[in-house]
Amino acid sequence: MKFKIKHYREKCIGCGSCSSICPKNWVMKKDGKAAPIKTELDEIGCNQQAADSCPVKIIKITKIK
């Protein structure tokens, strides 16, 4: 099982929640918005908590083969 992350970046409000909860895969960029380091992962790990914590719910995780 692999997981794919979709981040609707244009809607990111730059709250920093994802990067503080899951710093190994989320970083804050110079424009003040977050970005995932990897968008295809073998283990979802803390990305689920990051998605759950996003106040504008713009981190979507889907399962891929």
Interface positions, 13-42, toward ligand SF4 (CB under 6 A):
13-18, 34
CA gap 3, 11 in Å, rounded: 22
Check binding of 47 to ligand SF4 (CB under 6 A): no
Q: Residue 2: which region, alpha, beta or left (left: phi > 0; alpha: psi -120 to 50)?
A: beta
Check binding of 58 to ligand SF4 (CB under 6 A): yes
CA gap 36, 44 in Å, rounded: 12
Minimum CB distance to ligand SF4, residue 65 (Å): 26
Binding residues for ligand SF4, rule: CB under 6 A, are: 12-18, 34, 53-56, 58-59
